[in-house]
Amino acid sequence: MSAPARKRRPYAPRVPMAERREQLLDAALTIIDRDGYDGVSIDAIAREVGVTRPVVYGAFDGLGPLLTALLDRQQQRAITQLYGALPLTALASTPLGIVERAVPALHAMVLADPVTWRAILRSPANVPDVVRERIEGDRTRVRGTLQMMVAAVLPGADAEVLAHAVLALLDHFGQLVLAEPEQFSAERLTAAARAMIGAWIP
Protein backbone atom coordinates (compact mmCIF):
# COMPACT_ATOMS: atom_id res chain seq x y z
CA MET A 1 0.00 0.00 0.00
CA SER A 2 1.48 3.29 -1.05
CA ALA A 3 1.81 6.14 1.40
CA PRO A 4 -0.75 8.95 1.01
CA ALA A 5 0.51 11.86 -1.00
CA ARG A 6 1.65 14.74 1.15
CA LYS A 7 -0.21 17.97 0.65
CA ARG A 8 2.07 20.61 -0.70
CA ARG A 9 2.04 23.90 1.15
CA PRO A 10 0.29 26.52 -0.95
CA TYR A 11 2.61 29.19 -2.24
CA ALA A 12 1.77 32.88 -2.46
CA PRO A 13 1.14 33.90 -6.04
CA ARG A 14 3.99 35.74 -7.68
CA VAL A 15 3.43 39.46 -7.79
CA PRO A 16 5.73 42.30 -8.88
CA MET A 17 8.21 43.22 -6.16
CA ALA A 18 6.93 46.79 -5.85
CA GLU A 19 3.41 45.48 -5.28
CA ARG A 20 4.65 42.88 -2.79
CA ARG A 21 6.51 45.52 -0.81
CA GLU A 22 3.34 47.64 -0.62
CA GLN A 23 1.37 44.60 0.58
CA LEU A 24 3.89 43.97 3.33
CA LEU A 25 3.95 47.62 4.38
CA ASP A 26 0.15 47.69 4.47
CA ALA A 27 0.16 44.53 6.60
CA ALA A 28 2.67 46.02 9.04
CA LEU A 29 0.56 49.17 9.34
CA THR A 30 -2.58 47.10 9.96
CA ILE A 31 -0.83 45.15 12.72
CA ILE A 32 0.51 48.30 14.38
CA ASP A 33 -2.93 49.91 14.23
CA ARG A 34 -4.59 46.82 15.71
CA ASP A 35 -1.98 45.43 18.10
CA GLY A 36 0.55 48.20 18.68
CA TYR A 37 4.24 48.05 17.88
CA ASP A 38 4.74 45.07 20.21
CA GLY A 39 2.63 42.97 17.85
CA VAL A 40 4.64 43.59 14.69
CA SER A 41 7.19 40.97 13.59
CA ILE A 42 8.27 39.21 10.42
CA ASP A 43 6.07 36.24 11.34
CA ALA A 44 3.05 38.45 12.05
CA ILE A 45 3.48 40.33 8.78
CA ALA A 46 3.83 37.08 6.81
CA ARG A 47 0.64 35.69 8.41
CA GLU A 48 -1.25 38.91 7.71
CA VAL A 49 -0.42 38.75 4.00
CA GLY A 50 -0.65 34.96 3.74
CA VAL A 51 2.95 34.40 2.67
CA THR A 52 6.01 32.69 4.11
CA ARG A 53 8.90 34.34 5.94
CA PRO A 54 11.22 34.00 2.93
CA VAL A 55 8.78 36.08 0.88
CA VAL A 56 9.07 38.88 3.43
CA TYR A 57 12.86 38.60 3.51
CA GLY A 58 12.89 38.62 -0.29
CA ALA A 59 11.32 42.08 -0.20
CA PHE A 60 13.10 43.55 2.84
CA ASP A 61 16.35 42.67 4.58
CA GLY A 62 14.63 42.45 7.94
CA LEU A 63 12.10 44.03 10.24
CA GLY A 64 14.16 47.18 10.75
CA PRO A 65 14.38 48.08 7.04
CA LEU A 66 10.70 47.22 6.59
CA LEU A 67 9.64 49.54 9.40
CA THR A 68 11.93 52.29 8.13
CA ALA A 69 10.30 52.01 4.69
CA LEU A 70 6.87 52.10 6.33
CA LEU A 71 7.77 55.20 8.32
CA ASP A 72 9.10 56.94 5.20
CA ARG A 73 5.95 56.08 3.24
CA GLN A 74 3.51 57.13 5.95
CA GLN A 75 5.36 60.36 6.64
CA GLN A 76 5.20 61.35 2.98
CA ARG A 77 1.57 60.26 2.72
CA ALA A 78 0.48 62.28 5.75
CA ILE A 79 2.33 65.45 4.71
CA THR A 80 0.96 65.23 1.16
CA GLN A 81 -2.59 64.74 2.43
CA LEU A 82 -2.35 67.54 4.98
CA TYR A 83 -0.86 70.12 2.65
CA GLY A 84 -3.40 69.12 0.03
CA ALA A 85 -6.21 69.87 2.47
CA LEU A 86 -4.86 73.17 3.80
CA PRO A 87 -5.92 76.12 1.58
CA LEU A 88 -2.37 77.37 0.99
CA THR A 89 -3.40 79.11 -2.22
CA ALA A 90 -6.15 81.09 -0.48
CA LEU A 91 -4.05 83.12 1.94
CA ALA A 92 -5.57 86.34 0.64
CA SER A 93 -8.93 85.08 1.89
CA THR A 94 -10.49 86.02 5.22
CA PRO A 95 -9.98 83.80 8.28
CA LEU A 96 -13.61 82.73 7.97
CA GLY A 97 -13.11 81.81 4.33
CA ILE A 98 -10.10 79.69 5.18
CA VAL A 99 -11.98 77.88 7.95
CA GLU A 100 -14.90 77.12 5.67
CA ARG A 101 -12.56 75.60 3.09
CA ALA A 102 -10.11 73.87 5.40
CA VAL A 103 -12.31 72.13 7.97
CA PRO A 104 -14.39 70.06 5.49
CA ALA A 105 -11.23 69.16 3.57
CA LEU A 106 -9.43 68.07 6.74
CA HIS A 107 -12.49 66.11 7.88
CA ALA A 108 -12.58 64.25 4.54
CA MET A 109 -8.82 63.66 4.72
CA VAL A 110 -9.03 61.90 8.09
CA LEU A 111 -11.95 59.71 7.04
CA ALA A 112 -10.27 58.77 3.75
CA ASP A 113 -7.20 57.34 5.52
CA PRO A 114 -8.07 56.68 9.18
CA VAL A 115 -5.23 54.19 9.76
CA THR A 116 -2.59 56.77 8.86
CA TRP A 117 -4.18 59.45 11.02
CA ARG A 118 -4.79 57.17 14.01
CA ALA A 119 -1.06 56.45 14.04
CA ILE A 120 -0.37 60.20 14.20
CA LEU A 121 -3.20 61.53 16.36
CA ARG A 122 -3.71 58.53 18.64
CA SER A 123 -0.30 56.91 18.78
CA PRO A 124 -0.50 53.13 19.36
CA ALA A 125 1.15 51.43 22.30
CA ASN A 126 4.93 51.56 22.76
CA VAL A 127 5.74 53.93 19.91
CA PRO A 128 9.48 53.71 19.16
CA ASP A 129 11.48 56.87 19.74
CA VAL A 130 12.33 57.18 16.04
CA VAL A 131 8.64 57.26 15.15
CA ARG A 132 7.80 59.77 17.85
CA GLU A 133 10.68 61.99 16.74
CA ARG A 134 9.46 61.93 13.13
CA ILE A 135 5.94 62.82 14.18
CA GLU A 136 7.19 65.69 16.33
CA GLY A 137 9.42 66.91 13.52
CA ASP A 138 6.48 66.95 11.13
CA ARG A 139 4.34 68.75 13.69
CA THR A 140 6.99 71.45 13.90
CA ARG A 141 6.95 71.84 10.09
CA VAL A 142 3.16 72.02 10.02
CA ARG A 143 3.13 74.54 12.85
CA GLY A 144 5.50 76.71 10.82
CA THR A 145 3.11 76.55 7.86
CA LEU A 146 0.19 77.49 10.11
CA GLN A 147 2.19 80.37 11.52
CA MET A 148 2.77 81.64 7.98
CA MET A 149 -0.96 81.35 7.24
CA VAL A 150 -1.95 83.19 10.41
CA ALA A 151 0.54 85.97 9.74
CA ALA A 152 -0.87 86.38 6.21
CA VAL A 153 -4.52 86.68 7.25
CA LEU A 154 -4.10 88.36 10.65
CA PRO A 155 -1.32 90.95 10.36
CA GLY A 156 -0.19 92.13 13.76
CA ALA A 157 -1.44 89.04 15.63
CA ASP A 158 0.91 86.77 17.58
CA ALA A 159 1.17 84.24 14.77
CA GLU A 160 3.43 81.87 16.70
CA VAL A 161 1.04 81.45 19.63
CA LEU A 162 -2.00 81.21 17.36
CA ALA A 163 -0.26 78.54 15.27
CA HIS A 164 0.15 76.43 18.42
CA ALA A 165 -3.54 76.95 19.22
CA VAL A 166 -4.69 76.06 15.70
CA LEU A 167 -2.58 72.89 15.62
CA ALA A 168 -3.96 71.80 18.99
CA LEU A 169 -7.48 72.42 17.70
CA LEU A 170 -6.82 70.42 14.53
CA ASP A 171 -5.42 67.57 16.62
CA HIS A 172 -8.53 67.47 18.78
CA PHE A 173 -10.95 67.78 15.87
CA GLY A 174 -9.13 64.90 14.16
CA GLN A 175 -9.43 62.70 17.22
CA LEU A 176 -13.16 63.46 17.47
CA VAL A 177 -13.66 62.49 13.82
CA LEU A 178 -11.72 59.24 14.28
CA ALA A 179 -13.68 58.32 17.41
CA GLU A 180 -17.20 59.28 16.29
CA PRO A 181 -17.30 60.34 12.63
CA GLU A 182 -21.10 60.41 12.40
CA GLN A 183 -21.51 62.58 15.50
CA PHE A 184 -18.75 65.01 14.55
CA SER A 185 -19.62 65.83 10.96
CA ALA A 186 -17.78 68.31 8.75
CA GLU A 187 -20.73 70.68 9.03
CA ARG A 188 -20.75 70.57 12.82
CA LEU A 189 -17.00 71.11 13.14
CA THR A 190 -17.06 73.92 10.58
CA ALA A 191 -19.86 75.66 12.51
CA ALA A 192 -17.86 75.36 15.74
CA ALA A 193 -14.71 76.73 14.09
CA ARG A 194 -16.74 79.56 12.57
CA ALA A 195 -18.07 80.46 16.02
CA MET A 196 -14.56 80.46 17.49
CA ILE A 197 -13.30 82.70 14.69
CA GLY A 198 -16.18 85.09 15.43
CA ALA A 199 -15.25 85.15 19.12
CA TRP A 200 -11.54 85.77 18.41
CA ILE A 201 -11.93 88.36 15.67
CA PRO A 202 -14.33 91.30 16.15
Would you state the pLDDT for residue 126?
80
Express each pLDDT in 74-90 by its tens digit. Answer: 999 999 999 998 887 76
Q: Give yes or no for a contact between 156 and 148, defined as CB atoms under 8 angstroms apart.
A: no
Long-range contacts of range 121-126, CB-CB < 8 Å, 24 or more positions apart?
121/171, 121/174, 121/175, 121/178, 122/175, 122/178, 124/32, 124/33, 124/35, 124/36, 124/37, 125/36, 125/37, 125/38, 126/36, 126/37, 126/38
Express each pLDDT in 20-78 by its tens digit. Answer: 999 999 999 999 999 999 999 999 999 999 999 999 999 999 999 999 999 999 999 99
* DSSP H helix total and E strand total for the chain: 9, 0
Chain-centroid distance of CA 122 in Å reads 10
